[in-house]
Amino acid sequence: MQSLYDIPAPAKLNLFLHITGRRADGYHLLQSAFMLIDWCDTLHFDLRQDGAISREDLTTPLPDDDLVVRAARALQQASACSLGVHIGVAKSIPAQAGMGGGSSDAASTLLALNRLWKLNLSVRVLSRLGLGLGADVPFFLGGHHAWVEGIGEQMTPIQLPNARFVVVKPAAGLETRLIFSDPALKRDSKTAIISGFAADAHAHGNVFEYGHNDLQAVAQCLCPGVTQALEWLQSQGLRGRMTGSGSAVFAQLLHDIDVTSAPSALQVKLCSNLDVHPLLGWAPSDGE
């Protein structure tokens, strides 16, 4: 039996998240910088000849129709592939954290099955499939840190210096729709430009302190654990901020901290950013 084992699906952090407006259809216009980090889920793929798609939860129980299964089914249908797969999923990235765990799992599934099923589809084709699964899936397929605009579909690869981070996840998660539907959400941040992001980083010497997260104030009202996590980071001499639209917060790790001092309700993990996605190059970069 053909197999692909220990396939990584890395998380991401939003270095900042600005809401610059809202479209007539209700979608929010945003700007952000997405950064890949080494906090990963791990997936295993065993080829099935009968065309069936099955999944085994190796750690956290997942919904029956999660993004991994949906990604496999979408690729199978789009390619008219007669093969199937059994997927083992070892979750590590917390849910509702704003770290893109589900989208990353879907992206790694598309890349792994593209190889296992010998489809040879391009990143562009896979990204079109991925966008139908979740707005962040094309980012993980792109393989690089990215400057993100529009409703999340406009991405420009960027380079970031190597750095270490502490990520803190409260026990409770946050639903994206609750934050974006809150009337108190700030939706009028000034539009930034990517050259300004780079210039500010050069001027201040730290790209990781650029901007802010417009969702943070609303999130702190909805989830007290966000405030608890930020206050613990502050007690360690670090300036934290929320990542994405979930409840996790992070800070650049500029000195040693006492991880054991964190309240028991908080999940704390020390991470590093990645140079590129570990599966970069698993699909052709151009062509249809």
DSSP states along the chain: --EEEEEEEEEEEEEEEEEEEE-TTSPEEEEEEEEEEEEEEEEEEEEESS--EEEEESSS---TT-HHHHHHHHHHHHHT---EEEEEEE--SPTTSSS-HHHHHHHHHHHHHHHHTT----HHHHHHHHHTT-TTHHHHHH-S-EEEETTTTEEEE------EEEEEE-SS---HHHHHT-TT----PPPP-HHHHHHHHHHHS-GGGSS-BTTHHHHHHH-HHHHHHHHHHHHTT---EE-TTSS-EEEE--S---GGGS-TT-EEEEEEB-SS-TTTTSS-SS--
pLDDT of amino acid 288:
47
pLDDT tens per residue across all 288 residues of the chain: 799 999 999 999 999 999 999 888 888 899 999 999 999 999 999 999 999 999 999 999 999 999 999 999 999 999 999 999 999 999 999 999 999 999 999 999 999 999 999 999 999 999 999 999 998 999 999 999 999 998 888 999 999 999 999 999 999 999 988 998 899 998 999 988 888 787 776 666 688 989 999 999 999 999 999 999 999 999 999 999 999 999 999 999 999 999 999 999 999 999 999 999 999 999 999 754
Domain range list for the chain: 1-288
Strand partners, 87: 45, 55
The Cα 147–Cα 131 span in angstroms is 17
Of the CA atoms within 13 Å of residue 238, those in its CB half-sphere come to 24
pLDDT of amino acid 203:
67
Closest C-alpha among 86, 21, 16, 78 to residue 50: 86
pLDDT of amino acid 171:
96
Catalytic residues: 12, 136
Closest C-alpha among 79, 55, 62 to residue 128: 79
- Would you state the CATH architecture of domain 1-288? 2-Layer Sandwich (3.30)
Q: Which two tokens stand for residue 186?
A: 């700030």
The Cα 46–Cα 4 span in angstroms is 7
The Cα 38–Cα 32 span in angstroms is 19
- Are 105 and 67 within 8 A, CB to CB? yes
Closest C-alpha among 182, 179, 196 to residue 242: 179
Degrees to nearest 5, angle at CA 277 with 189 and 193: 25
